[in-house]
Chain A
Amino acid sequence: MKTYEYAFNVIAYSRFRSCIVFILVFVTTVCIFGTGLFTDNIQNGARLYGTTDTDLYIVPEEYLDSTKDLLFKGKACTIMFRSDVTEKIKEIPEIEKVSPQLYLETLEMSCCSAGGIQIVAYDPKSDFSVSQWTDVSIDISPDEILVGSAGNFSKGETIDLFGRTFKVAGILEETGMGYDSSIFMTYDSANEITSSDEYAYMFGKKKNAVSMLLLRQKTGADMNTIIKKVTDSLEDSRLKVYAIDELASGLRSNIRMTTTMVKTMDIFVLMIAGVSLFAMVTVTSEQRRKTAGSLLSVGYGKNKILRLFFAEYLILFTAGTLLGIGISSVFLFPLHNVFKTLLDMPYKLITVGQGTELLLKTLAVNFTMLVTAVSFTFITVMKKEPAMLTGENV
């Protein structure tokens, strides 16, 4: 008897039992791999705060929430103030670099909109934020743009923005933050747009405006001293300086809550799946006892019977694992950017190495479950004398 022929026969005949085992393995896989990948992506996105080159942000106080949304969630918004404070900030000795950025009204708000994409204008000379995410030169020409990783644009493609045609000069690497869904152009290009009559007609005159000042402190400088000096410089203005940690604290707690919730739910579902599988294995052991007794009575060895049981479970576990990984991957890889857009928090795909680690963890848990199920079945069945298995002894 061919082992797998037997196993497929048993699976096809015992459809209900097979379906239950298959579903339980599928659920376990989705819990470990699918939600694991999801929460790891969120945590991976969250880790980027620590790697950003910006230490402080200056924005109008009333736009604090919009700033957080823009920075971390990619929600398009418009923030503007006059750029005349920039020079004062530059004079603070503990500040190494000051770089302005301007956020233009999103395409969604304009007449030629296809979807709400944030346009970020940066100054190539002082920038240390956009350049962090690309290997190509950020000193692009006025008719060129850079795009975020989730923008679905390709290098060399042309895009029409506010009646002007721009060529995509490069694509930033994934940041997990708002940059992923943004378009980047130089301040010169942005100024040309905002000073045009068409723009003024739609949105009003906005010359020499900035949306945010990004500050980088000198190595060893005291953050509190800088904040005090910057705050003094901003006196009598509606602007306020925020440290990156201050901006991210609320979001961090949201991420913590979300990942804890997902993981708690996972543990709960895993426990249910484990108990159900154990119950299923226990309930079916009576059936298997008879099968083992029957096979032993015609001379089929115990090791071969173990192989039969193992093959049956192996097929079901493999199918459940593959489907679980497949479904999770379909949702979390091709729809990665959709998730990123829908989520109100940073989201960055983990690396291949981290993904492999998660995959191995999933396989290890499923294999342990498989071995446990087979061992339990085999030990329960085989500890009896062959005649006892069939229930015929007297």
Chain B
Amino acid sequence: MIEVKNVSRHFGKNGLDNTSIHVKKGELLGVSGASGCGKTTLLNIISGMLRPESGSVIINGQDIGRLTENKRTALRAGTIGYMMQGSVLLPEFTVIQNIMLTAGIAGKKCSIAQAKELCKELKIYNIINSYPVNISGGEYRRVMLARILSADTPILIADEPTSNLDEESADIVRKKIYDVHKKGVCIITATHDKKLLELADSILEL
């Protein structure tokens, strides 16, 4: 499903060097390594958010390096759900609006009821009408996960989904990722979380 061949991209001394991976449909791949080793760079390249200096990324038989930027963007709408590491919720929209918005962009019919159900599962139902600036770090990560899951994409890329979460919140996130994995979604996650890595079918150490 995802094939990364000899991909490199550098930012000063840090970055990714000549990396290759192969992820099959329904597989959960954990990516670990020290800070600055290129985990986020790899995920950015796979999701088409960054162009590699060399190498190629093939998703469902399509070399995304050959796609125009618009087509790569469209790929993220319908095929790849990318949960980034930082704060990327739209501050002008409430939690539920942020979730619905992503589903809408992906062209998925996610009803308010479905979005609320997702929020209940991730234990963020009580904050659905809050703005991102008013929620905690743990809640923020779960909203980001809910936002991506609402798009119902066959590939999920999650960058440090459990970082800075308390154990209870981390458990909720791990469980949800595992549930999605069991439904056949192909997942690549960069993480330092050993419990999450234990759920992975394979681990790439950078």
Which A residues have a C-beta under 8 Å from some C-beta of B? 1, 9-10, 12-14, 290-291, 293-303, 385-388, 390-394
Contact = CB atoms under 8 A, between A and B. Distances in A.
B36 interface: yes
B101 A297 contact: no
Q: Indicate the member of B50, B87, B90, B106 with the most A CB atoms within 10 Å.
A: B90
A391 B77 CA distance: 20
A299 B106 contact: yes
Nearest to B147: A298
A13 B93 CA distance: 8
Nearest to B45: A387
Interface residues of B, number: 44
B70 A301 contact: yes
B40 A298 contact: no
21 contacts: A1-B101, A1-B104, A12-B92, A13-B91, A295-B90, A295-B105, A296-B73, A296-B76, A297-B47, A297-B88, A298-B105, A298-B148, A298-B151, A301-B70, A303-B70, A385-B50, A385-B51, A387-B49, A390-B84, A390-B86, A392-B44
A294 B159 contact: no
Nearest to B79: A299
A327 to B, nearest CB: 29
A179 B74 CA distance: 71
A299 B93 CA distance: 17
A298 B50 contact: no
B77 A393 contact: no
Contacts of A390: 84, 86, 88
Contacts of B69: 302
Contact of A392 (B40, B51, B81, B102): B40
B51 to A, nearest CB: 6
Contacts of A294: 88-90
Given A298-B105, A298-B151, A393-B41, A293 B88 contact: yes
B49 A297 contact: yes
Nearest to B133: A13
Given A9-B93, A386-B50, A392-B44, A300 B73 contact: yes
Nearest to B14: A394
A298 B90 CA distance: 12
